[in-house]
Structure 1
Amino acid sequence: MQINVSLLNAHDFCPRVIYLKEVMEIAPDASIRKTKGLIGHAARKELSLRQSKLLGRVSCASEIENCLFCELDNVLSDFPYIYKNLLEDNDIDYEKLLAEIKSEMLPEIKIINEKLMLVVDELGIDKALEYVTPWKVEYFMKSENLKLSGRIDKVMKQNNNLIPVEIKTSSPPHSVWQGDRIQTCAYCLLLEDKFNGKISYGFVEYTKIHEQRPVMTTEQLRRTVINTRDNVIEILEGKVPEICPHGSGKKCEACDFKEVCYEI
């Protein structure tokens, strides 16, 4: 059996979600909150993927902010064509939803602008463009050896070293969410397996603060990836996780499956 790396992150949130969604095939009820979250994530990810294209258009740091605002408009304009599967509920006013998301992202544009300006001021346009341009985007990988597959948001190449970058739009903790850490390490293992090399670290990019936070591929974290993979496989083969195995009421309250979880 081969599992998607995203399930490792889902397992860290709650193993029972995997059972309900993947084994029982229960789909959570649609809601405006959930749809807005999915669309907001996709829009922020799309803007991140376009940063190299954006820098290619400017001649100096002072032009970056206007280009960011224009590119945000382009992202939202292109959205229905790229992410058509997210816009299938006819009962939702998507124009209103996209307008709300744009309003929420405007302060984030200011943060992105400040940090990109620092990079350009320090390196110059050409070096900055090289620095932010990925080697690959949405790079699909699979490994029979690892029993894992997944699509890496960005793979950077620096001094012939490959570095996976996982884009996240949630508000980050002081460091990195454990599920994001596991997911990023798994991508490092996939790259190692394919290219027969060692990858010491990857990054989680938290778009709301425009920060890339490092994830070191320690022996402990590598072991956690393998153990989590094995636990997910057991669930997919029929093992039923206990209710609220993580003991976090906050997770239960935020879960899309909270209405059905205790009934099964």
Structure 2
Amino acid sequence: MIRVSSISEFVYCPVKAFLNHVHGNDTQTREMICGKLVHEVRRGYEEITKQNIWRIKENIELENIFSTIFAEIPYFIEKISKKYSNNYEMDHSTLKNICGDLEDDLKLESQFLSLKIKKILNTTSKRGNEIAEMFFPQSLLEFSLKNEELNLMGKIDKIEVINGVYYPVEVKTGMPPSKGVWLADALQVAAYSVLMDYELNKEVLVGFVDYIKICERRPVVVNSILHNKLLGVLDDMLTMFEKQEIPEFKLNKNKCEKCEYMDICKYYS
């Protein structure tokens, strides 16, 4: 089976996709563990913030909105940091830097969110639970999907359900392009749209990529052009895995030095 996450890796570098397919969960690089940490903190932040917004009452001051939203977050980040320190033996300096950056980012996001909530309170009669649903709609988190006909499987970051419509959402920690989304990210959204149609019987016309580095959500229109590109990539990947042959590619020093498989890649070494 081809994992949806491997599509992005294949577009980035076929060798990376091949190594991930061969080694699977046996390989736990520093970058992979850091990515898991960031995603876990982000998921927890959404759940805690959503619950705290429910407690917000009308006529509350802006400073109190922020403290209500953010007060628990530093303790939650510290808790996750200790978990990863114990389970993955990550060094203290690395954890401190990652968690410090996360806390700064989430503090800024909470400040912006507080301003939006205050504006809503001043201009509408919405209550805390209604406001929470505006920013954090009903969602399926880390939902597993599979299509045996396509030999495709994956675990999507999030499926948001708004007025009965299902939207796939991919969360990315890297920087986005100046406009739109990276092709690899668009292909992942397209792959999940195919899986959602197959397993959930939900046609997907648009999905989203959340680039959390800049706190921005960008849409992906799932059309026939994107579908055809996806099918072409899946065919190439299946051929590579079946024949155990890596297609021709060009080494890119900038890419290679950032790759989590750098230490075990015979092409780079």
TM interval, short-chain normalised = 0.7 to 0.9
Q: Matches of residues 102-251 of structure 1 in structure 2 within 5 Å?
A: 102-117=99-114, 119-120=116-117, 121-122=119-120, 124=126, 125-131=128-134, 132-174=136-178, 175-242=180-247, 245=249, 248-251=252-255
Q: Is the 8 A contact 2:167 2:206 kept in 1?
A: yes
Q: Secondary structure at the match of 2:11?
A: helix
Go from structure 1 to structure 2 and tell me whether the alpha carbon gap of 1:26 and 1:107 turns closer, same or farther (over 3 Å shift). Answer: closer
Deviation of the 1:159 alpha carbon: 1.9
Shift of 1:212: 1.5
2:53 paired with 1:52: no
Contact 2:144 2:155 in 1 (8 A): yes
Separation in 1, partners of 2:232, 2:168: 21
CA contact (8 A) 1:112 1:209 kept: no
Q: Point out the more displaced range, 143-152 or 156-165.
A: 143-152
- Find the aligned partners of 1:233 and 1:251 in 2 and give their Cα distance: 23
Instruction: Name the TM-score, length of structure 2 as normaliser.
Output: 0.79
TM-score normalised by the chain length of structure 1: 0.81
Query: Cα gap change, 1:255/1:27 in structure 2, threshold over 3 Å: closer, same or farther?
Result: farther
- Percent of aligned positions that are identical: 25
Give the aligned residue type for 2:194.
Answer: L
Q: Do the aligned partners of residues 27 and 150 (structure 1) sit closer, same or farther apart at CA in structure 2, a change above 3 Å counting?
A: closer
Q: Are 1:98 and 2:99 matched, yes or no?
A: no
- Following the alignment from structure 1 to structure 2, what is the Cα–Cα distance between the partners of residues 262 and 30? 18
1:21 aligns with 2:20: yes
The alpha-carbon distance between structure 1 residues 49 and 98, as it changes in their structure 2 partners (threshold 3 A), is farther
Structure 1 runs not aligned, ≥5 long = none
Task: Give the conservation status (yes or no) of the 8 Å contact 1:58–1:64.
Answer: yes
What is the Cα deviation at residue 68 of structure 1? 4.4
- RMSD of aligned residue pairs (Cα, Å): 3.1
User: What amino acid is aligned across from residue 150 of structure 1 in structure 2?
Assistant: G
Q: How many aligned positions are there?
A: 257
RCO higher in 1 or 2 (8 Å CA, sep ≥ 6)?
A: 1
Q: How does 1:24-43 map to 2 (within 5 A)?
A: 30-31=29-30, 35-43=33-41
Q: 1:228: Cα distance to partner?
A: 1.6
1:258 aligned to 2:262? yes
